[in-house]
Amino acid sequence: MVLDLLNSHSSVRDYEDVTLSRETVERLVSAGQHAASSHFVQAYSVIHVTDPVKREALAELSKNPKQFLTAGAALVFCMDYRRLEAAAALQDAKIAYSNAEALVVGVTDAALFAQNVAVAAESEGYGICYIGGVRNAPEEISEVLGLPKGVAPLYGMTIGVPKFRNEVKPRLPVSAVLHENEYNSEKYEELLPEYDRTMNDYYLNRGSNRKDATWSEDMAAFLKEPRRMHLKEFLAKQGFRFE
């Protein structure tokens, strides 16, 4: 049953007009907290945005108006070392998080936490959508949400009762991502063209937003230029300087 749930995930962007109760959000967040955490630092926080004005600001800044304005709940997941600073202060100590390892730990902890929330929500019949557009304007969004130094927004998530569910996108074959003993890039010459044909068939026949494209074409275009170059400066302002 768990595998069926995981294998049926698709992003939901259209929601019924049903607001999730605070109790529901707390239940889902509690489930999220039981994800693995590096050395149990729990370097994450989530902002539940219920203020309509703040929701409108998030919608505009992230360029995702439909999800943020119509979902039953709007969340912003953050990497959080401010709480760890407070914990260290209880011991008259200071922490060092201006380094690459702390950044990796914070991003990983927050991702595991968020994905647990997503799976918990889907297990109760809700639909979810991650909003990477939060990183379009992290400084402005931090101001809207009152995020202090040591905290950085990573992604949003909308949760709600789906109006309908999109088809499940075909993933890469397991053989493309599973390597035994050593990394093997030679297999991509055969596997990627096959996957391109699979994705082209999916794109041409899916229920909406049809297009004649392949996965490798999309990835080549998407990754051609660096994206969100403002993030390094923003993270440095928040205390993440990669020393």
Report the C-alpha gap between 243 and 66 in whole angstroms: 39
Q: Residue 210 — very low, low, confident or very high, per pLDDT cuts 50/70/90?
A: very high
| 173 DSSP assignment | P
Q: Residue 243 — very low, low, confident or very high, per pLDDT cuts 50/70/90?
A: low
**Has residue 65 got a pLDDT over 90?**
no
Cα separation values, 104 from 40, 69, 110, 215, Å: 14, 31, 10, 27
Instruction: State pTM to two decimals.
Output: 0.96
Tens-digit pLDDT profile for residues 28-61: 999 999 999 999 999 999 999 999 999 999 999 9
Tens-digit pLDDT profile for residues 71-121: 999 999 999 999 999 999 999 999 999 999 999 999 999 999 999 999 999
| Mean pLDDT of the region 152-171 | 96
Structure tokens that stand for 190 in this block:
């055969």
Report the C-alpha gap between 242 and 85 in whole angstroms: 18
For the chain, what is the mean pLDDT? 97
Tens-digit pLDDT profile for residues 172-191: 999 999 999 999 999 999 99
CA dihedral 23, 28, 30, 36 (to 10 degrees): 180
Cα separation values, 51 from 1, 16, 159, 200, Å: 36, 19, 16, 41
Instruction: Note the pLDDT of residue 64.
Output: 79
Q: How much of the chain exceeds pLDDT 70, in percent? A: 100
Farthest CA pair distance, the chain: 61
Domain 2-167+231-237 architecture = 3-Layer(aba) Sandwich (3.40)
Instruction: Note the pLDDT of residue 1.
Output: 85
Q: Residue 210 corresponds to which amino acid?
A: R
Cα separation values, 164 from 56, 75, 129, 228, Å: 24, 21, 13, 31
The residue extents of the domains of the chain are 2-167+231-237, 174-220
Cα separation values, 220 from 135, 158, 215, 216, 226, Å: 21, 28, 9, 6, 12
Instruction: Note the pLDDT of residue 221.
Output: 97
Report the C-alpha gap between 228 and 152 in whole angstroms: 15
Instruction: Note the pLDDT of residue 3.
Output: 97
